Amino acid sequence: MGISFTPLASGPSGFRDGLQFTEKLRVWSETYEERFMVPDKWNNKLADETVAILVYNLPEWLKGPARKVVATLMDERLRKAMM
């Protein structure tokens, strides 16, 4: 996929083992989310379209409540980023 692991604390090839790699990746991803998961019109559009796909096959009367269920399953940062 061409993903660079250079931004991770141990660099692209300095990991002791898979456990250290996953810990560094977790820390990196949380920092990335804090920086980029912010309220934005494009995040809102992406969220609206994704939820529309998730509820597509439901009967019309169930789509509204299903959207609310989907929103409750998201963490707070994701909800805020989606406005």
Q: Model pTM?
A: 0.63
DSSP 29-81: HHHHHHHH----HHHHHHHHHHHHHHTTTS-HHHHHHHHHHHHHHS-HHHHHH
Mean pLDDT is highest, among 5-19, 26-40, 60-74, for: 60-74
pLDDT at position 45 is 93
Q: Is 17 helix (H, G, I), strand (E, B) or coil?
A: coil
d(CA 47, CA 40): 11
Residue 68 pLDDT level (bands cut at 50, 70, 90): very high
pLDDT at residue 11 greater than cutoff 70: no
Dihedral of CA atoms 45, 80, 75, 34 in degrees, nearest 10, equals: 100
pLDDT at residue 2 greater than cutoff 80: no
Single-letter amino acid code for the residue at 13: S
